[in-house]
């Protein structure tokens, strides 16, 4: 089934540890995104990539890094996790990179930082 796969589904992490959330899509979409979802705040964009080899910062990029070595994969890394990074993380993709593009979302990764 075509779509976005995120891993892990859920993770508990000690503060200060490094963590990589994985995201893979099989739709050959050019653009990919990472959002975090927090109660009362909706979804906020962390980082995005309009095409393989390029990345950009979103609304809340601090403490996160991404890479886009190929079309399919867009991992999100927390170099040194802090409790404020406890959240549900969603990876998304779209065919193109304009405001008119429809995003396809993964099922999310729930991260708890203690």
Could you list the residues that contact other proteins (CB under 8 A)? 4, 31, 33, 35, 40-45, 48, 50, 56, 58, 90, 92, 94, 96-103, 105-108
Beta strand pairing call for 109-113 and 10-13: parallel
Residue closer to other proteins (CB basis): 34 or 113:
34
Residue closer to other proteins (CB basis): 14 or 99:
99
Q: Smallest distance from the beta carbon of 81 to other proteins, in angstroms?
A: 23
Q: Smallest distance from the beta carbon of 17 to other proteins, in angstroms?
A: 25
Cβ neighbours around 88 below 10 Å, total? 16
Q: Smallest distance from the beta carbon of 42 to other proteins, in angstroms?
A: 4
């Amino acid at each position: 089934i075509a779509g976005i796969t995120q891993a892990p589904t859920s993770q508990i992490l000690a503060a200060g540890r490094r963590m990589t959330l994985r995201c893979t899509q099989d739709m050959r979409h050019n653009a990919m995104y990472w959002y975090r979802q927090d109660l009362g705040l909706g979804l906020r964009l962390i980082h995005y990539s309009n095409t393989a080899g390029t990345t950009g910062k979103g609304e809340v990029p601090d403490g996160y890094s991404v890479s886009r070595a190929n079309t399919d994969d867009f991992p999100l890394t927390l170099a040194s996790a802090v409790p404020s990074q406890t959240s549900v993380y969603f990876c998304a993709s779209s065919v193109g990179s304009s405001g008119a593009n429809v995003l396809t979302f993964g099922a999310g990764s729930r991260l708890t930082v203690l």
